[in-house]
Amino acid sequence: MASLTVSAAEKKRHELQKKLKERKGDDVPSLTSEEITALTTERLEQIKTEEARLEKKGPWDENTKSFKAAIGDDSVKAAPIKLCKAVNLDTEGSMNNAEKAKLAAMVGNAHAQSMKAYSNQEGVTTTITEAETNAQTTLVFNGCCDSKYTLESYAAKIFVQNCENVEITFAPSSKVLTETLEVHRCVSMNLVIKSRIGTLQIDQSSDCNATFDSMENFGNPSMIRKGREFGKDGRVVWAGCENLTVSIGEDKVHCDFETERKVDATVNEERTQFKVSYDSLGVLRSEKVVRLRNGFPSTKREDDEHDRREEEALQGLAQRMGVTLNKKDVCKKCKPNDPCPCGSGKKFKKCCWN
């Protein structure tokens, strides 16, 4: 409890008043017992008010899942203190406390309510059923080797990390609600996908295979974000991988970072991402991901295709309205005798030069 004596600030104020009166020639009486009592009472009220303001944790409110903030006589009601959701962790295999904390933090970032972890298992063959997972469960495979897993039930999301020579099969009866699968730092990973996965992310892995049994299971055909298409179907995003093979039905593409670095010296093993998807002609290809001016991730081909469609739509609208639009700015790198990029067949200097 704070002291109830006269504060130093109050004594200082009285001394200043005394000096002021001395300059005016007035007699300054000393503090009487009544004045000391009044100042002490005032100080006591200030202490009580300050203690009430500093007391943040009140009774627990089950409705808001937060502490009710205490309200002093002259204070404003504070916002409730939010607590993170508790993550129910169920593990099979060995896992130390540090690994549990790391996985719980990872699943907490994914807003999951429960987690089923298969950790440090070796030589295991198992089938994951509804008795083990549900639509709110995030599945984690950590540090496993020489094992085979088959998912036949629902799950919220899938994380795979630090595994070697592991095969995970997604049966037709399985369903990943977020359609997201993440693989990090794995070797000889084999993914057999027979249910829909929209986004497969593979980072810092080698000798991995991702096999989709059909194009229908390769994501959602209506992925449109911020007005730009990031693939008309699913996508595989990879970074820093060696000898990665993605198969979708009869289509197949081989991905390798060292091969990409020979073509583009600016790529970075950890930061540069590549995307495997179908282009407008139905060809499966792997392309470097670039950031547009608004920060949206895309590829150069998709950006050019989007601009071309916008230009065609604008020209069509102008024709229907009987309006003539100015020609789009052409490339400044064109030489005078080059064919004009507008498609007129004339030389650049005799067409769109000016």
How many domains are there within the chain?
A: 3
Mean pLDDT taken over the chain:
76
Which residues form the domain of 256? 90-311
Which pTM was predicted? 0.59
Residue 230 lies in a domain: yes
Check whether residue 29 and residue 126 sit in a common domain: no
Long-range contacts (CB closer than 8 Å, 24 or more residues apart) made by 153-158: 153/128, 153/129, 154/130, 156/110, 156/112, 157/110, 157/112, 157/181, 157/182, 158/182
Residue 2 lies in a domain: no
Q: For tokens 């000898």, what's the residue?
A: 243
Express each pLDDT in 54-92 by its tens digit. 665 555 555 555 545 444 444 444 444 444 444 566 667
Check whether residue 61 and residue 184 sit in a common domain: no
Check whether residue 140 and residue 226 sit in a common domain: yes
* Cα radius of gyration rounded to whole Å, the chain: 34
Check whether residue 349 and residue 271 sit in a common domain: no
Contact between 272 and 258 (Cβ < 8 Å): no
Check whether residue 223 and residue 332 sit in a common domain: no
> What pLDDT shows up at residue 47?
79
Residue 3 lies in a domain: no
Check whether residue 40 and residue 76 sit in a common domain: yes
Express each pLDDT in 254-277 by its tens digit. 999 999 999 888 888 888 999 998
Residue 280 lies in a domain: yes
Q: Which of 29, 47, 82 is a domain's end point?
A: 82
Check whether residue 162 and residue 184 sit in a common domain: yes
Residue 316 lies in a domain: no
Residue 258 lies in a domain: yes
Express each pLDDT in 319-335 by its tens digit. 777 776 665 554 556 77
Check whether residue 149 and residue 196 sit in a common domain: yes
Phi and psi (nearest 5°) for 308?
A: -65, -45
Q: Which of 28, 53, 82 is a domain's end point?
A: 82
Check whether residue 121 and residue 261 sit in a common domain: yes
